[in-house]
A = this chain, B = another copy of it.
């Protein structure tokens, strides 16, 4: 299985259009050790010919242009695409609005939890994906299903599972417990290659590494994990937004309650942070936070990084 990081940034990307935090200023100025990042998405393929997107970011058109493997196949047809399926982990703008780029009467499948499919149905703009061509498939929870798209077996299965998190920002209900968050609003994914039996995990949003998640990840070969913030309070401390990480549905990387500490005894062979927010000090290659993460065996995801599993 081949996995490519299309976008390693969180919502807004890096730099973010309206942000002048130290990181955004540095990357705009081309400072060494700072790499621009588009928004959160992976592409996965069992055979190198047909691809599955894990989330569809607003930067998808740019990400496709930067990935020759995602261009039409050059087989003589005037329309076509190697993208045969999209799997969504939640209803966030940075994970679903790239679907609007995949219009133009092309067949593929969209997999999502029932609650996220309801968001697509409730927002008529997504009808730009012709109902007779684009299958909308409900992801069962904790059940392995084979991925298909445009009539093809894609050689991969997905097992989706709920993780602690939060409903999409634009759907928050201030009067409801947990802002209206329900099971299925935030998913982790295990992607399994039929031929090799190998699997990896993709969890771009997760507010807590609880006991069920620990059991799932123990001994995993490869995990792409929520690297949104380094510190619970960094957005507040930098004057960017009055919200903590847990309020936004994201665990921090550092500290006793962070993901570095939680993964320490999980025996995961390869660990890569994705969905990295512009405020995160690990975006600076010479920061002590980057060094701490590296020393704990973590890689900081970059756009274009390819992993063969």
- The chain A residues found within 8 Å of chain B, CB to CB, are 11-13, 15-21, 24-25, 28, 36, 38-39, 58-62, 64-65, 70-72, 74, 77-81, 83, 93, 96-97, 100-106, 119, 122-128, 169-171, 238-241
A12-B103, A62-B59 given; A74·B20 CB < 8 A: yes
Q: Cβ of A17 and Cβ of B104 under 8 Å apart?
A: yes
**A93/B128 in contact, CB under 8 A:** yes
Chain B residues lying within 8 Å of A77, measured Cβ to Cβ, are 20
Q: With a CB–CB cut-off of 8 A, which chain B residues contact A25?
A: 74
**Closest CB-CB distance, A280 to chain B, in whole Å?**
15
Chain B's nearest CB lies how many Å from the CB of A149? 13
A18 to B28, CA, bound (A): 31
Contact A104 B16 (CB under 8 A): yes
Each complex incorporates copies of this chain amounting to 2
A73 to chain B, nearest CB (A): 8
CB distance from A63 to the nearest CB of B (A): 10
B20, B102, B103: the one contacting A72 at CB < 8 Å is B20
Partner of A97, one of B12, B100, B124, B171: B100
Can you sample 14 A-B contacts with CB below 8 Å? A11-B103, A12-B103, A17-B64, A17-B70, A18-B81, A19-B104, A20-B74, A20-B79, A58-B101, A59-B61, A79-B240, A93-B100, A97-B97, A119-B124
Expressed in whole angstroms, the Cα–Cα distance for A101 and B72 within the complex equals 27
Task: Report whether B12 and A104 are in contact in the complex, using a CB–CB cutoff of 8 Å.
Answer: yes
Closest CB in chain B relative to A62 CB, distance in Å:
5
Q: Please, which residue of chain B has its CB at the minimum distance from the CB of A126? A: B170
Question: Is B125's CB under 8 angstroms from A80's CB?
Answer: no
Report chain B residues within 8 Å CB of A60. Answer: 17
A79-B125 contact in complex given A28-B71, A100-B58, C-beta closer than 8 Å: no
B239 and A17: CB pair below 8 A?
no
Closest to A22 in B: B78
Q: Is the CB of A127 within 8 A of B170?
A: yes
The interface residues of chain B lying within 8 Å CB-to-CB of A125 are 93, 96-97, 119, 123, 125, 170
Q: How far is the CB of A247 from chain B (nearest CB, A)?
A: 14
Beyond known contacts A19-B78, A19-B104: 13 more, CB 8 A cutoff: A11-B104, A12-B103, A12-B104, A13-B61, A16-B104, A17-B81, A18-B102, A19-B72, A28-B71, A59-B62, A78-B239, A93-B103, A125-B125
Return chain B residues, CB-CB under 8 Å to A239: 78
Q: Which residues of B contact A240 (CB under 8 A)?
A: 78-79
Which residues on B sit within 8 Å (CB–CB) of A83? 17
